[in-house]
Structure 1
């Protein structure tokens, strides 16, 4: 039953985020992407601090793991995701280093969904097919990791698994919006772009199965898996999403931004209360 739940959760998080991103990218792009960034940031932080980390510390008592070791794992996880992010940015900058300055908008779109409009406006050259493959490869690797994290959460508690799957989907939607814009520039067929990105999202399920087998065999290390999952969500929220929201806005726009942020937190809290009944 746990494996079935993991498969459903990973498919919803992986492929569902791609299809929702396609809807936003093709129909409602400019208006709702910023709201989704706020919602995703709130959901990720709430999932990490009110779901994953408390569960990890509770399990650590049973497994005989010290709180100090978990905090070290959290620190290592944050530094690891920072270095991974830097390596990916360096690779993209090196790959397109001989392009004109507009390639910066293209590269940053892959990392940050709020540059989607700029990338669409500036990146008209359809000859950069390698960029499309870089996007697909990067998404596949990232999706595999998401699957492992979701599986770890489901093994610990089905309620954690549901929260983790929804949080992954929420933060992947803005990311995939940017990816779709890039792929539409590198592939002549928009349907092919959506199909290939959907396949990349489907890799989440493969990661989920591998995570289920791995976590089951190494159950005593489950607190560390949960802490790494939390560090991933915290890093994405604080390094990728929150900085995009830190810009000068009108009072009305600021209020809407804060409201969507708290909506993300409330969504996770409501999910936790619903799952307990």
Structure 2
């Protein structure tokens, strides 16, 4: 029964990834007109997710030093830099020598990797909470859903910005969400042997990935906007994304 509740909860959370379907009805021109706002929101939610959710959770694990969290975060930044460098090299080898000729921007693939890892961790959290008690499991599932709504809008926006079509972005985002099942099953069968050090590493590593994508890809893209009024709007949306994650992680 417990395993069934865990899998049902993970399925419900995974279906939140389809929130991007709300933009399917938009024309390509209309979506293009608001993409700069979506990118600002994505940058904000990524920074908020890293500094208000992932890193604090890693720091709260017993026996983990703050210095270790910084190290794991730095490893995440470096690994995501190497992954992006590999993607750039791959594109060059297959004949795409100029950034504007890429069929898909590297940020799209980085987002899928980071989101997959993040959903894997969500699956672990849901499974462990149900092993503690059904009431705890339901509460954690609701909290994850509230957290995932802005996160999935973020992920969908990045995939669209990265060159994916609406339907392709929706499909890949859903596939990435399914890694939560792997995390849930892993935690259910191996929770007794899963140490806090591994969980802390995964949390901080994922946080480092979020920081890298926001600082190296999304925020520089925001600087392309030359109009003052749009730049101010971008800043407001960036801060809104950060604020939403802060509220969800502290009061949800």
Q: Distance in 1 between matches of 2:123 and 2:29?
A: 32
- Unaligned 5+ segments in structure 1 are 114-134, 184-192
Q: Tell me what 1:51 maps to.
A: 53
Question: What CA distance in whole angstroms lies between the structure 2 residues aligned with 1:158 and 1:219?
Answer: 22
**Separation in 2, partners of 1:86, 1:176:** 18
Alpha carbons 1:144, 1:207 under 8 Å: kept: yes
Tell me if the contact between 1:37 and 1:171 (Cα under 8 Å) persists in the aligned partners: yes
1:247 aligns with 2:230: no
Task: Name 1:10's counterpart in structure 2.
Answer: 14
Equivalent residue for 1:231?
208
Matched, 1:73 2:72: yes
Q: Equivalent residues in 2 for 1:173-188 (5 A)?
A: 173-178=156-161
Q: Tell me if structure 2 keeps the 8 A contact 1:51–1:160.
A: no
SS in 1 for 2:64: coil
The 10-residue stretch of structure 1 (266-275 or 40-49) with the greater mean CA deviation from structure 2: 266-275
Question: Which range moved further: 148-157 or 198-207?
Answer: 148-157
Shift in Å at residue 244 of structure 1?
A: 0.4
Residue 261 of structure 1 corresponds to which residue in structure 2? 238
- How many Å apart are 1:273 and its aligned residue? 4.6
Distance 1:240 1:165 in 2: 21
**Preserved CA contact (<8 Å) 1:21 1:173:** no
Q: TM-score, normalised by structure 1?
A: 0.70
Match in the other structure for 2:106: 111
Return the alpha-carbon distance in structure 1 between the equivalents of residues 45 and 146 of structure 2: 9
Distance 1:25 1:74 in 2: 39
Change (3 A) 1:206 1:253: closer
Preserved CA contact (<8 Å) 2:35 2:161: no
Count how many residue pairs are aligned between Structure 1 and Structure 2.
232
Deviation at 1:243, TM superposition (A): 0.9
Shift of 1:105: 1.7
Name which of 41, 63, 66 aligns with 2:43.
41
The counterpart of 2:117, out of the listed 130, 142, 145, is 145
Give the structure 1 partner of residue 132 of structure 2.
Answer: none
Q: Give the unaligned 5+ runs of structure 2.
A: 130-139
Deviation at 1:215, TM superposition (A): 4.1
Alignment partner for residue 170 of structure 1, among 145, 148, 153? 153
SS in structure 2 of the partner of residue 28 of structure 1? helix
> Measured at CA, do residues 262 and 165 of structure 1 come closer, stay the same or move farther in structure 2, by a change above 3 Å?
same
Per the normalisation by structure 2, the TM-score is 0.76
CA contact 2:52–2:249 (8 Å) conserved in 1: no
Contact 1:163 / 1:271 at 8 angstroms: preserved in 2? Answer: yes
Matched, 1:88 2:87: yes
Give the secondary-structure state (helix, strand or coil) at the position aligned to 1:171.
helix
